Amino acid sequence: MARVLITGGNGLIGSHLAERLIARGDEVALLDVIFNSNTRGIKCEKINADVRDAKAVEKAAEGKDVIIHFAAVSRVAWGQERPVECVETNSIGTANVLEAARKANAFVFIGSSREVYGEPEKNPVSETARKEPVSIYGITKLSGEKLLMAYRKYFKLRGAIFRFSNVYGSTRDLEERVIPIFIRKALKNETLKLNGGAQILDFTHLDDTLDGILRAYDKRAAIDGEDVHFVTGRGASVAELAKLTVKAARSSSHIITGPVKSFDVQKFVGDNSKAKKLLGWTPKISLEEGLKRTVELYRKAM
């Protein structure tokens, strides 16, 4: 049994991961700025705090064996709208978590993003690809990764990096993200408006993502210092995503196109071969199947 702290524990990935770790017998504590219906049924310690509060983070980390750091300003658009908050939370907040992990002698996983690559030179993108983020969010995520590597080098902190890509598959997701928006509108037969639509992205189901995280968690000594993609290796355009969502919802929604956002990456398809080699991980849920499952979850919840 391990003692685990999950920052951002009320979020999509954090709350579901907590349930799985508790079911396995681990002692879990969640830290977040708010707790709502996402975690209402999860029986564990819940710490209402902000990762920008270094003392609160240090106290929460005391006695922990593993810290899984997901707390963040978690949308690219929010980073552009509130850049200072994004830097304070994603960069300084990560520094606070790393310092707390150092003092607790805990292994730390940090959740990062495909956004660190910006507009890739070629696809599929491997972990060694050039990292040139094109958004404030992407810059702060890359700074968090570099901070972890610095803490490993100078303070012998043990840790590893997860990079996610458009994770979906639960009603606990943020309402403002593309798949929840598309599903809610499709179920109401409302028009789906695309910001461009030609963007090609790698959409990864939550269950596959959690499987990868748990494999890394179990093999943490072996992946100390590594960065790993949890991606499908399949690209789908946002326009295709909209069509698949309408089909899965058996909807009569129309799809229209609006202007592209200047900070949106236009194409990212990830390479998951490193996760397969190190962890024996491969994604199992296709986009079509994942959307069907997610649509039904939303249909039941509405």
Which residues have a catalytic role annotated? 137
DSSP 78-109: HHHHSHHHHHIIIIIHHHHHHHHHHHHT-EEE
Tell me the C-alpha distance between 154 and 103, whole Å. 14
User: Tokens in use for 62?
Assistant: 């005391």
Residue 111's nearest CA partner among 161, 146, 168 is 161
* Bridge partners (DSSP) listed for residue 160: 109
Q: Which of 93, 230, 219 minimizes the C-alpha distance to 162? A: 230
- Nearest 5°: CA angle at 117, between 111 and 123? 115
CB 12 within 8 A of CB 75: no
The answer to whether the CB of 263 falls within 8 A of the CB of 80 is yes
Beta bridge partners of 161: 110, 227
Locus of tokens 């810290």: 67
Distance CA 257, CA 260 (A): 9
On whether the CB atoms of residues 160 and 109 are closer than 8 A, the answer is yes
CB 45 within 8 Å of CB 30: yes
